[in-house]
Amino acid sequence: MALRFPPVSLFLDRWRALLRRRTRFDFDQEVAGLSRVEIAVAFLALLELRKQNEIAIAQAAPFAPIRISRADAERSLSWTAHSA
């Protein structure tokens, strides 16, 4: 039996729709209840959106919540992200 992975495009659409309604969200809250494979694909979609400069990704510390915001909204915020 072959494993079936959700397409990255599914999560690209999901994140874009979410960010049309909100300026930011916490990744962990949005992927709660998904399988590990689905979470990995969802994260790959975030990386693609970041690559296209559509979003900003911030994490205050290792293992802290990953916060996603629209790129245009991030420029107007004063919070700072740190990476490990």
Does 80 fall in a domain?
no
Check: pTM over 0.75? Answer yes or no: yes
The answer to the question of residue 1 being in a domain is: no
Q: 53 in a domain, yes or no?
A: yes
pLDDT at res. 74: 56
- Report yes or no: 27 and 63 within 8 Å, Cβ to Cβ: no
Please name the residue ranges forming H helices in the chain: 8-21, 27-31, 36-51, 71-75
Domain count, the chain: 1
Range of the domain at 54: 8-75
CATH number of the domain to which 44 belongs: 1.10.10.580
Tens digit of each residue's pLDDT, the chain (84 residues): 566 778 999 999 999 999 999 999 999 999 999 999 999 999 999 999 999 999 999 999 999 999 999 998 755 554 555 555
